[in-house]
Chain A
Amino acid sequence: MSGHFSAVFFVLALLAAIVALKVKDLLAAAVVLSLFSFLVALLYVSLGAVDVGFNESVLGAGVTGILFVIAIFNTRRRSRD
């Protein structure tokens, strides 16, 4: 039962990771990376590790996405010195 679900989540997470690597826009890459984190969290939950999945969905999909966006807004194209 849960084996099918975990296979689906695994393939989707792999696709999301490849998209996050290939996409040019950094903001889009950050968003796809938090989608990847959420899919990995679903994978953990479907494999029975509810605690780890909870952690991953809160930190990986929520806080890390916000921190990546802030880091992107803090960078500039050219260095200052």
Chain B
Amino acid sequence: MIRPKETIITDHVVRVMVPFIQIFAFYVIFHGHYSPGGGFQGGALLAGSVLLQRVVLGAERSQIGFPTRLGIPFGALGILIYAGVGFLAMLDGGNYLQYDHLPFGMTPVYLRNTGILLVEIGVAFAVTGTLVSIYDDLVNFERRDDQAEMHSAGSREDA
């Protein structure tokens, strides 16, 4: 069982670092088409900032930043954004993810820019939600296991 250790140093270092990590993650997501990085890396950085809070601040206090129940919906929303952009292009007669057929009323160059940005945001959401929910499932796996063990021990005493 992991029990939290109250140390002021890690606590404060994490509280100072997490906003900067998140700002850098948004920078990476929104500049993904001009510079190294993109949706996947930015989403992994966002998930890393949430996991840092989960590990250092403990399960209860980190729920304020990103609740456990939001993990899967966040990932599904990301997939929905990605697939939605793809199918919007198909509605206008293009192929799947053919950005210059998006119905936003811009020149094709700007349409490609906007489409790539939207898809990157979708990928970032999907990666963030999935990584955080993998961590939460791994942590809760132990708790569920202990409850099952207690339950089976209780039933054995009854028998």
B-contact 0/1 string along A54-76, CB 8 Å cutoff: 11001100110011011101100
Considering the chains assembled together, what is the distance between the CA atoms of A59 and B128 in angstroms?
12
Chain B contacts for A58, CB-based, 8 A: 41, 44-45, 48
Neighbour of A70 across the interface among B47, B48, B135, B149, CB < 8 A: B135
Chain B contacts for A80, CB-based, 8 A: 149
Contact B44 A63 (CB under 8 A): yes
Contact A66 B142 (CB under 8 A): no
Chain A contacts for B139, CB-based, 8 A: 70
Considering the chains assembled together, what is the distance between the CA atoms of A74 and B51 in angstroms?
17
Contact A70 B41 (CB under 8 A): no
Contact B135 A67 (CB under 8 A): yes
Contact B51 A63 (CB under 8 A): yes
Q: Which residue of chain A is the closest to B54 with respect to CB atoms?
A: A66
**A51 contacts partner chain B, Cβ-Cβ < 8 Å:** yes
Interface residues on A, range: 10 to 19
A55 with B135: in contact, given A62-B51, A63-B47, A73-B142 (CB under 8 Å)?
A: no
Considering the chains assembled together, what is the distance between the CA atoms of A3 and B141 in angstroms?
46
Contact A55 B44 (CB under 8 A): yes
Q: Which residue of chain A is the closest to B1 with respect to CB atoms?
A: A73
**A15 contacts partner chain B, Cβ-Cβ < 8 Å:** no
A74 with B41: in contact, given A51-B36, A62-B48 (CB under 8 Å)?
A: no
Chain A contacts for B36, CB-based, 8 A: 50-51, 54
Chain A contacts for B51, CB-based, 8 A: 62-63, 66
Distance (Å) between the CB of B151 and the closest chain A CB?
13
Chain B contacts for A67, CB-based, 8 A: 134-135, 138
Contact B138 A51 (CB under 8 A): no
Considering the chains assembled together, what is the distance between the CA atoms of A72 and B135 in angstroms?
13
Contact A74 B37 (CB under 8 A): no
Query: A residues near B, CB below 8 A?
Result: 50-51, 54-55, 58-59, 62-63, 66-67, 69-71, 73-74, 80
- Shortest 8 CB-CB distances between A and B: which pairs? A50-B36, A58-B44, A62-B48, A51-B36, A70-B138, A74-B142, A54-B41, A66-B51
